[in-house]
C-alpha cells in the first residue's frame, strides 16, 4: 500500500515540493529543540567514536526540497556540541532515503555548496521495509513520519 502513494513533485517549478513545503519547514523548525534534546539524551557518542570517527545520519523520506538540509544541519550541530575532542575530527555521512520515484537529481543539485560538512549519498527504498544493514546508522529521523503517523503502515519509532 505504501508504494501506491505518489512521490512529491520534483524540480523547482510552480507545483514542486521545494516551492510548496512551508508546512513541513515550519514543522522542522518547531521540532528542532526536541530533536536536539533527544540526540543529547540518547546518543552514546563515546561508542561511536570508539568504533569509528564517522557518524552516519539517515533521513528517511527526504523528498526533494531544502527542508531536509535544515534538519540534517540541526542534527550535525547538536552532535558537534557534544563532541569536543579536537585531536580527532568527527566525520559525518548523511544517507538521504526516499522511494525510487523521488527526484534525487533535484535533491543533490540543491545541496549546499559552501559550508556543508558531511558526505551525502542517496538510498532509494521504501522505509516501510529494511533500508540499511543492522547497526549501520547512528541517527535516523523522518519529517515524513509526521505526514503518515495516522496510517497503520507507519513503522514503530524506537529510541
pLDDT tens figures, 75-109: 998 898 888 765 678 899 999 998 888 888 888 98
Cα–Cα separations (whole angstroms), residue 52 to 39, 47, 76, 92, 122: 18, 9, 16, 11, 21
Least confident of 18-27, 46-55, 113-122, 147-156: 147-156
Q: Identify the pLDDT of residue 16.
A: 63
* Domain boundaries defined on the chain: 9-148
Distance CA 7, CA 84 (A): 40
Percent composition of the chain: helix, strand, coil (DSSP 3-state, to 5): 40, 15, 45
At 23, the pLDDT band (50, 70, 90 cuts) reads: low
- Is 94 in contact with 118 (CB distance < 8 Å)? yes
Nearest C-alpha neighbor of 16 from the set 56, 52, 66, 50: 66
Identify the pLDDT of residue 95. 96
Nearest to 139 by CA among 115, 123, 158: 158
Q: Which CATH architecture is the domain 9-148 placed in?
A: 3-Layer(aba) Sandwich (3.40)
**pLDDT for position 94:** 96
Reported confidence tier of residue 144, pLDDT bands at 50, 70, 90: low
**How many other C-beta atoms can be found within 10 angstroms of the C-beta atom of residue 93?**
17
Mean pLDDT, rounded, for 31-48: 82
Amino acid at each position: 500500500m505504501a508504494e501506491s502513494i505518489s512521490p512529491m513533485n520534483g524540480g523547482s517549478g510552480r507545483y514542486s515540493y521545494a516551492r510548496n513545503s512551508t508546512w513541513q519547514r515550519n514543522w522542522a523548525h518547531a521540532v528542532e529543540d526536541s530533536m536536539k534534546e533527544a540526540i543529547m539524551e540518547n546518543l552514546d557518542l563515546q561508542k561511536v567514536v570508539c568504533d569509528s570517527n564517522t557518524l552516519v545520519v539517515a533521513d528517511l523520506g527526504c523528498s526533494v526540497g531544502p527542508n531536509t538540509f535544515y534538519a540534517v544541519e540541526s542534527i550535525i550541530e547538536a552532535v558537534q556540541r557534544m563532541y569536543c575532542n579536537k585531536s580527532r575530527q568527527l566525520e559525518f555521512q548523511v544517507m538521504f532515503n526516499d522511494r525510487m520515484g523521488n527526484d534525487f537529481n533535484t535533491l543533490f543539485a540543491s545541496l549546499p555548496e559552501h559550508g556543508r560538512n558531511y558526505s551525502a549519498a542517496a538510498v532509494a527504498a521504501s522505509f516501510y521495509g529494511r533500508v540499511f544493514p543492522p547497526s549501520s546508522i547512528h541517527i535516523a529521523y523522518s519529517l515524513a513520519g509526521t505526514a503518515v503517523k495516522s496510517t497503520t503502515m507507519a513503522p514503530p519509532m524506537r529510541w
